[in-house]
Structure 1
Amino acid sequence: MKNIGFIGTGSMGSLIIEAFIKAKYIPQKNVHMLNRTMEKPLKLQEKYKKTTIHQNVNELLRDCEWIFLCVKPHEMVAVLESMKENITTNHIIITITSPLQVEESERILQPSSIPVVRFIPSIVNLSLDGPSLVTFGSQCTKKHRKELWEMFSSISRPQLITPPITRVASDIASCGPAFLSFLLMKMIKGATDETEIDEETALKIMERMIIGYGETLRQQHFDLETLKKRVTVPGGVTGVGLKVLEDEVGMMFHHLFRETEKKYREDRRKIVEQIKDREEP
């Protein structure tokens, strides 16, 4: 088994580490971590005692073949630059941030021809299921793609995506759980404000409904549209509720995607500027 390095052990970095260990795809002894501060990797090491913590990027590159970069978007360019001196063609770089394109990562790592893949996870991958988004760089061979796909499939259901849909696909796969949680909490608030149900009971029913809902889709009893039709009896209560949703939701999600695209463009602009500044003599 290859040694897998993780630069950044924050929210998503630690989630990915835990998911791979839970899936038994990466043994603890093959997990190597590097973080700006020691608190987070030490906390993970308390739970997974056979993991290794490194002090600098050169140590990590020496001991690992595949490297996950789990840092914030504005830190990604500098981290890639710091790897250039000791990186080799035996390494594969796996970025998890949407604003940085794979071809840009490849360009930063030149003159070495380093395979780069972008893997955008979702919090639901901790259940060893749910979507992840994958974009392979030009240096990834068929062998690389097969091995990486197998690894990603151990904790998720990977979906190949192209750059133009990166942000919207991430909104659905990665931001979607937060958006849905917000809407469900609003539904519970409405229920408790307008009826005699208490919050604890409403929350318990809602969580069980969502688990069953996901399992129903998993077992392919219905798709989204046929499920809605099956529940909606003509002249029934569900139809009345759906009419309220149709009237009230309106362009809400159009506005949501416009705002996330706007933020994405701003993040892209900053990364492009960082790359340009480093390329200028």
Structure 2
Amino acid sequence: MDRIGFIGYGSMGSMLVKGLIGSGQVRQEQIIVTRKDKSRLDEIKKTWPEINVARNAADTAKDADYIFICVKPLEYLDILKEIKPFIRPDHHIVSIAGAVAVEDIEKMADCKITKVIPTVLSEVREGITLVCHNGRVTEEDSARIEALLGSIGRIWRIDEKDFGFATELTSCGPGLIAAVFQELVEAALRHTDSFGRDEITEKVLQTMYGTSRLILEKKMDFRDVISRVATKGGITEEGVKVIEKGLPQVFDEMLDQCMRKREAVNGKILYQFRDIQER
């Protein structure tokens, strides 16, 4: 029975644990968890009484077969230094940091490495998880880890060089989409006194859900839905004109800002690992 270690139990670490246990693919006793804030380890045991809690990252690495590193990108180097003496060739490290390159992890860990970018939607098993592997990961290894991750969403295996932009679509996507529809709710509230926030939010969410189902199940695209609803000379057509005029600039700026931020973080990480290599 494979043991799955989680170094870090913040937003993504806890989401992955919840998703894996909830999927039925992993039992609580298979999981080992540690985190920097030890005061929260008791909370983990209250939620998952059969989960194993480790004192630190090193103990997690010693006892686990899979090591999920779920800390902030700038904390990766310290974690890798701590676990390096305990890494075996058969270990399988799973990194969830888009900014940390696989080749940089390889400088500190001579083992199988998979880079994944999950999404908050994995908590309800509807997310898309980006995946790539290093050369030590065999087809059998990749099938095993992708089956594990596939229990909480769909796998999208791509080249590591494409992770940056794909992350904006899949991992950042839920937050960006939520922000867009939050503005729709706010606009609706400014235009009516008949309905409250909760009622409007519920109707917008149901419409989002129904639109997604229609497109996916009927194999349509966005333009198909627009053409069916926005009849010539109708009310929807006027709204679509406003969106098509104003939103392209907004979305271009949004993606530009996300990409600039990603490049800035990548630069800091690159400097950290370059320093290690030079020493």
Q: TM-score, normalised by structure 1?
A: 0.94
1:50 — aligned with what?
A: 50
The alignment status of 1:98 with 2:98, answered yes or no, reads yes
* Greater Cα offset, 48-57 or 32-41: 32-41
Superposed, 1:193-232 pairs within 5 Å as 193-196=190-193, 197-232=195-230
SS in 1 for 2:172: helix
1:163 — aligned with what?
A: 160
1:97-117 per-residue CA deviation (whole Å, 9 max, x = no partner) reads 1111112211222xx3x1101
Q: Letter of the 2:241 partner, please give it.
A: K
State, as a whole percentage, how many aligned pairs show the same letter: 24
CA displacement at 1:48 relative to structure 2: 1.2
1:181-223 per-residue CA deviation (whole Å, 9 max, x = no partner) reads 1111111111111223322221111122122223333424422
Of 93, 114, 118, which aligns to 1:117? Answer: 114
* Greater Cα offset, 147-156 or 157-166: 157-166
Of 236, 242, 260, which aligns to 2:240? Answer: 242
Contact 2:107-2:277 at 8 Å conserved across structures: no
* Greater Cα offset, 24-33 or 243-252: 243-252
Distance 1:198 1:57 in 2: 48
Q: Which runs of 5+ in 2 are unaligned?
A: none
The alignment status of 1:15 with 2:15, answered yes or no, reads yes
1:77 — aligned with what?
A: 77
SS in 1 for 2:86: coil
CA displacement at 1:170 relative to structure 2: 0.7
Q: Letter of the 2:252 partner, please give it.
A: H
Contact 1:116-1:136 at 8 Å conserved across structures: yes
Contact 1:14-1:44 at 8 Å conserved across structures: no
The alignment status of 1:254 with 2:252, answered yes or no, reads yes
Contact 1:103-1:138 at 8 Å conserved across structures: no
The alignment status of 1:63 with 2:60, answered yes or no, reads no
1:188 — aligned with what?
A: 185
SS in 1 for 2:204: helix
Distance 1:225 1:145 in 2: 36
CA displacement at 1:40 relative to structure 2: 3.3
Distance 1:155 1:220 in 2: 24
The alignment status of 1:107 with 2:107, answered yes or no, reads yes
CA displacement at 1:165 relative to structure 2: 2.2
Q: 1:251 to 1:187 in 2, by over 3 A?
A: same
Q: 1:201 to 1:54 in 2, by over 3 A?
A: same
Q: 1:39 to 1:229 in 2, by over 3 A?
A: farther
Q: Letter of the 2:208 partner, please give it.
A: I
Distance 1:216 1:7 in 2: 40
The alignment status of 1:138 with 2:129, answered yes or no, reads no
Distance 2:272 2:250 in 1: 34
Distance 2:218 2:129 in 1: 20
1:88 — aligned with what?
A: 88
1:112-139 per-residue CA deviation (whole Å, 9 max, x = no partner) reads 3x11011100001111122110111121
Q: Letter of the 1:70 partner, please give it.
A: C
SS in 2 for 1:279: helix
Distance 2:271 2:76 in 1: 13
Distance 1:217 1:108 in 2: 45
Q: Letter of the 1:190 partner, please give it.
A: A
Q: 1:40 to 1:222 in 2, by over 3 A?
A: farther
